[in-house]
Amino acid sequence: MLQRIRFTELQLLIVPSAMTIVGLLTIYLASTRDLDWEWRDIWVSLAYMGVVFFISLWLSATGFKGDQVIFPIVVCISGLGLLMIQRLAPDLNEIDPAAYGNLARNQIIYMTAGLAMLLGVCTFVRSLGWLRRYKYTWAFAAIAMMAATMVFGSEYYGARLWINIGPFSLQPSEAAKVAMVVFLAGYLAENRDLIASNYQVGPFRLPPLPYLMPMLVMWGFSILIVVLQNDLGTALLFFGVFLSMLYLASGRLLYVIVGLATFAGAVYVAYNLFDRIGVRVQGWLNPWADPLDTGFQPVQSDFALASGKVFGTGLAQGHPTFITQVHSDYIFSAIGEELGLMGTLVVLLLYLLLVFRGFYIALMARDSFGRFLAAGLTTILALQALIIIGGTIRMIPLTGITLPFISAGGSSLLTNFIIIGLLMRISDPTVTR
Amino acid sequence: MGTFIRLAAFVGAMLVIAYGFSGTEEQADQIWLMLLLAAGVLLAIAWWPRGTRALPVFNRTILRWSAIILVCFTLVSIQLVRVQVVESSRISNRIAEAPNGEIASNPRHRLQSLEKQRGKIFDREGRVLADTVELEDGTYARTWPELSTAPLIGYYSPEMYGSTNLEAAFDDYLTGSDGGNPAEEWLNDLLNKDQRGYDLELTIDLDLQNLAAELMADRPGAVVLMDAQTGEMLAMYGAPVFDPNRLYANLGQQTSEEVEEIQAYWAELNENPNAPLVFRPTDGLYNPGSTFKTVTASAIIDSGEAKLDTIFRDEGVFEVDGRVIEELNRPDPSKIAWTLEEAYAYSLNVVFAQIGLELGSQQMWDYAERFGFGESIPFDFDVVETQLANSRSELNNRALLADTGFGQGQILASPLQMAMVVAAVLNNGVMMQPMVVDRVIGDGGKVLEDFGRDDWRRAISGDSAAAVRDLLLATVEYGYSQAAAIEGLTVGGKTGTAEIGEGDPHSWFIGFAESGERKLVVSVIVERGGPGSQAAQPIGRSLLEAAFQEAE
């Protein structure tokens, strides 16, 4: 019995426990400006850590043998997200109660639901085989979800990302990205020999057509996302994940470079054709020329990050709510203002640890499908973090995708926790195929 | 790849980044983004996984893919360092103009000035010199009700032009971030409490300050009135004054027209040939003219080379190394033998030129140094350095040394510096540290800091100081400053007339008045005011008289 207890995980969980509890306490003290507090004032963190420890103990109890490091890392990142949302929600609520009234509550619900999904995947997905078997179903599901968004989606802030079903609004691209990775992992695992070969036509060695075709399909699909949904972030994420998985399976860097270059060219042409280049590129390269209108958000984000300096103002002591999308697109700037360079670098380091652990799981997986799946899922998280952070600090144009585990947003949280659940499942050496 | 190539690539990447930090303007400057990309390629070369050829395809590619992701995260970190550290001040203080003419600046600055109620500044009687008033909307604004003390206090315009003098030097106290209980300050910071700034109580007497302003009547110049035994400043006035209220910017509350007005006023102040932004009492550097004879006399007496009745010759003309010094000050041109006391009282240039030569450049320099020449006097805010001559070696020129002896030459003194000379003479040869901020007052009138009256240094011996004091007294008694006498007070003084090129000379007066234990020193300069006895001396006399009348 004792060997089954996940000691490494339990010990590592001490770090996020201390962080979320002390963090929320400082937020509470700074907002009430008084030293009096009771335990129930920080119930959110206590509940969060309660759920987390319950999951860890449950996994121990059920004899789960999977990786013990990745879960504490994720708990740390999402704990930071929890703190940021708890800290931002009251201020945002003051600005616009109709829009942000339920922000804090929803975040707790989504996070709990996400953790439950993680536990569910770890507990009930006994075999990865069915994922592989139905790969074309997943591919179809992914395309159907994206297509539905393009047709029925509603537009927010100029991007068509959401589908409203009753009181809920879903972001199908979040689920679609996982479905796509599952399909690709299955497809590549099955056809890797074919893919690695070449066609000889006279003196030329041509790339193998079987992976030129999906590449072309993917390429066209991603461009469609840009054109129809005006969603460069999702397109970049899909295409980037696709290219990296192709590279991981084939080992040909050249195609990645060609793919990226043609994609960039096509996006450039598309933006020129559709006359959207103005706002986005202006907001990226030169927001200071129009600091009150099109450049408002980037300029405010610059102010926030620069005001944070090395150590930040401290939680709940800065003014990140000058940025209007601070709870989603620009949450990284809020971290930069209140926790400073130290905070932002720690966030980067946590993502890096998460990504490397994910790749480690991929390396240790026993079959190709597990390897490709783990590598692909990890790449989703890596690229998503890089794309949104790069946009926030104006290295690339800003795109409206979420910062994994930190930004507010149900679809994204649920999906990302499922990804972690899958990674943990893959890492379990006893899993049946 | 060889270790050397990796090392070279890494060093290359660092150089590219370093060049980018210094050579490009902004975080999204296209050249900078290109440099980042180049640094990324170099880093990828440096960190490319070794010995992967033998591995299976997937193991090889995932190691390489990890290296690429590591490079991407590193580039993001570099950009963060640029935004949050290297350029953080520039970005957070950046002010941009929108196409419609509105100004966009960091709203945090406004909030900080709104949240923190900056401490007030009072004169010694508790009259308000700088105030923080609460506006109707619950925010705060800083005002300076007294113009005469405004240049001393300095301007405070954190969003546009920064701050100066007391507003700058005592900022930590005025914002309440220093001076109180450290544990309490830490707790307040943790709890994000609105900190009320601490108040400053000055040694300035507003009545005397206003009188100084009235007497100067808008002529450029300066007045320093100090207590010789404590170093306290009773009046410290420089003209022309500026109005800090017109430089105070509270962006976000002001319309763009108001901001333009502030900018226009700033431009006007900077273009004004009379430089109102220079605080003359400490930062105005002038040739001290004959007032400097006090230093020369102190040196010759303290070195033991002359006494008050030592006889010097003055035949009306004196030549040294081709430089001819003509005596214009003798009351009786037929008399050629003068005691030191008479020479000082009648301000005989020929005698003091000889004394300068007798002292030699070495002693001249040493004594000037002991009075504070050649350094910046320790004060509540940084003041400029005074000087005896451009350099020590230049003073070896005998003509210059002779000129220096009677106060011309290359000497540059501030009004504060000359007040310190007289203060040393009155205070048994010891100079006190000049001070203007008396106390820092916290919540409920609690005294957080009571600045002591500290010695600065001994300039001359007590006996020498008593002798030099007699020189100043003689000047008022029978010399050229008889008009400075005040009934009921012991008064000494010395005028100075500093010739500077064409036009009227600068008019100087240094002096003191005593009654009982109280010893006050005055130092006045009126730029282009003519002879010292005409412009500066009456101002000094009136101030001394008023200061003692008030005390009664």
- How far does Cα B250 stand from its chain's mean position? 26
- Token digits of residue A290: 């129009």
Contact call for A352 and B69, based on CB within 8 A: yes
Same domain? B261 vs B298: no
What pLDDT band is residue A231 in, cutting at 50, 70 and 90?
Answer: confident
Task: Confirm if B269 and B428 have CB atoms less than 8 A apart.
Answer: no
Instruction: Identify the residue with better confidence: B98 or A416.
Output: A416
Q: Which residue among B59, B64, B92 sits closest to A363, beta carbon to beta carbon?
A: B59
The secondary structure of A40-82 as a DSSP string is GGGHHHHHHHHHHHHHHHHHHHTT--S-SSHHHHHHHHHHHHH
What pLDDT band is residue A1 in, cutting at 50, 70 and 90?
Answer: low
pLDDT at A11: 94
Same domain? B23 vs B50: yes
Contact call for B75 and A352, based on CB within 8 A: no
Residue B69 distance to chain A (closest CA, Å): 8
What pLDDT band is residue A370 in, cutting at 50, 70 and 90?
Answer: very high
Q: Check pLDDT > 70 for residue B194.
A: no
How far is it, in rounded angstroms, from Cα B136 to Cα B145? Answer: 19
Interface test with B, best of A31, A241, A290, A307 (most B CBs within 10 A): A307
Contact call for B100 and A379, based on CB within 8 A: no
What b/e sequence results for B264-298 when a residue is b if at least 16 CB atoms lie within 10 Å of its CB, and e otherwise? eebeebeeeeebbbbbbbbbbbbbbbbbbbbbbbb
DSSP annotation of B193 reads P
Look at strands B121-122 and B199-202 and give their pairing: parallel
pLDDT at A359: 96
Read off the pLDDT of residues B482-514 as tens digits, 9 standing for 90 and up.
999 998 999 999 999 988 878 889 999 999 999
Residue A197 has a CB neighbour count (10 Å cut-off) of 10
Ordered by start, the domain boundaries in chain A are 2-124+277-427, 132-273
Instruction: Identify the residue with better confidence: A30 or B424.
Output: B424
Q: CATH number, domain at B254?
A: 3.90.1310.10
Give chain A positions within 8 Å (CB) of B26. Answer: 288
Domain count across chain B: 3
How far is it, in rounded angstroms, from Cα B433 to Cα B230? Answer: 8
What pLDDT band is residue A343 in, cutting at 50, 70 and 90?
Answer: very high
Q: Which residue among B61, B88, B107 sits closest to A248, beta carbon to beta carbon?
A: B61
ipTM surpasses 0.85: yes
pLDDT at B326: 87
DSSP annotation of B454 reads -
How far is it, in rounded angstroms, from Cα B478 to Cα B57? Answer: 107
Q: Check pLDDT > 60 for residue A433.
A: no
Residue B6 distance to chain A (closest CA, Å): 20
pLDDT at A410: 86
- Which position has the token pair 């959110």? A44
B332: helix, strand or coil: coil
Asked if the structure places residue B82 within a domain, the reply is yes
Same domain? B395 vs B537: yes
Task: Confirm if B173 and B196 have CB atoms less than 8 A apart.
Answer: no
- Token digits of residue A50: 């309660």
Phi and psi angles of residue B125, each rounded to the nearest 5 degrees, phi first: -95, 5
Asked if the structure places residue B19 within a domain, the reply is yes
Contact call for B83 and A305, based on CB within 8 A: yes
- Token digits of residue B61: 């590619």
pLDDT at A408: 85
Taking CB atoms within 8 Å and a gap of at least 24, the contacts of B263-268 are B263/B160, B266/B160, B266/B161
A412: helix, strand or coil: helix
Same domain? B497 vs B535: yes
Same domain? B266 vs B288: no
Nearest CA-CA partner of B294 in B433, B470, B463 = B470
Give chain B positions within 8 Å (CB) of A253. Answer: 64
Same domain? B170 vs B311: no
- Token digits of residue A431: 């899993």
Task: Confirm if B508 and B289 have CB atoms less than 8 A apart.
Answer: yes
Read off the pLDDT of residues A35-64 as tens digits, 9 standing for 90 and up.
888 888 899 999 999 999 999 999 999 888
How far is it, in rounded angstroms, from Cα A210 to Cα A215? Answer: 9
- Token digits of residue B364: 């001249």
Contact call for B27 and A351, based on CB within 8 A: no
Q: Check pLDDT > 60 for residue A432.
A: no
Q: Check pLDDT > 90 for residue B172.
A: no
Asked if the structure places residue B186 within a domain, the reply is yes
Range of the domain at B82: 3-91
Same domain? B500 vs B537: yes
Asked if the structure places residue B68 within a domain, the reply is yes
Give the number of beta-carbon pairs within 8 Å between A and B. 159
Sequence-distant (≥ 6) Cβ neighbours of residue A333 within 8 angstroms: A300, A301, A304, A305, A320, A323, A326, A392
Residue A66 has a CB neighbour count (10 Å cut-off) of 21
Phi-psi region of A251 (alpha: psi -120 to 50; beta: other; left: phi over 0): left
- Token digits of residue B385: 């350095």
pLDDT at A219: 76
* A380 interface with B at CB cutoff 8 Å: no
Instruction: Identify the residue with better confidence: B183 or B454.
Output: B454
- Nearest 10 degrees: Cα torsion B19, B20, B22, B26: 170
pLDDT at B461: 93
Contact call for A26 and B111, based on CB within 8 A: no
What is the reported pTM?
0.69
Task: Confirm if A372 and B94 have CB atoms less than 8 A apart.
Answer: no
Asked if the structure places residue B104 within a domain, the reply is no
Same domain? B342 vs B429: yes
Q: Check pLDDT > 80 for residue A206.
A: no
B511: helix, strand or coil: strand
Q: Which residue among B36, B60, B84 sits closest to A251, beta carbon to beta carbon?
A: B60
Lowest mean pLDDT among A271-280, B76-85, B413-422, B473-482: A271-280
Same domain? B373 vs B462: yes
- Which position has the token pair 């040493």? B366
Asked if the structure places residue B237 within a domain, the reply is no
- Average pLDDT, rounded, for chain B: 89
Asked if the structure places residue B265 within a domain, the reply is yes
How far is it, in rounded angstroms, from Cα A419 to Cα A300? Answer: 33
* A10 interface with B at CB cutoff 8 Å: no
Same domain? B38 vs B139: no
Same domain? B248 vs B148: yes
DSSP annotation of B323 reads E
Question: Mean per-residue pLDDT for B525-533?
Answer: 89
Query: Using alpha carbons only, what angle is made at residue B237 by residues B233 and B239, rounded to the nearest 5 degrees?
Result: 165
**B188 to chain A: closest CA residue:** A33
Cα dist from A222 to A137, A162, A268, B453, whole Å: 19, 17, 13, 77
Query: Using alpha carbons only, what angle is made at residue B156 by residues B419 and B161, rounded to the nearest 5 degrees?
Result: 105
Phi-psi region of A168 (alpha: psi -120 to 50; beta: other; left: phi over 0): beta
Q: Which A residues in the span 19-48 are in contact with B, Cβ-Cβ below 8 Å?
A: 26, 29-35
Asked if the structure places residue B221 within a domain, the reply is no
Read off the pLDDT of residues A133-158 as tens digits, 9 standing for 90 and up.
888 888 888 888 888 877 777 666 55
Q: Check pLDDT > 80 for residue A229.
A: no
- Which position has the token pair 């900077």? B270
- Average pLDDT, rounded, for chain A: 86
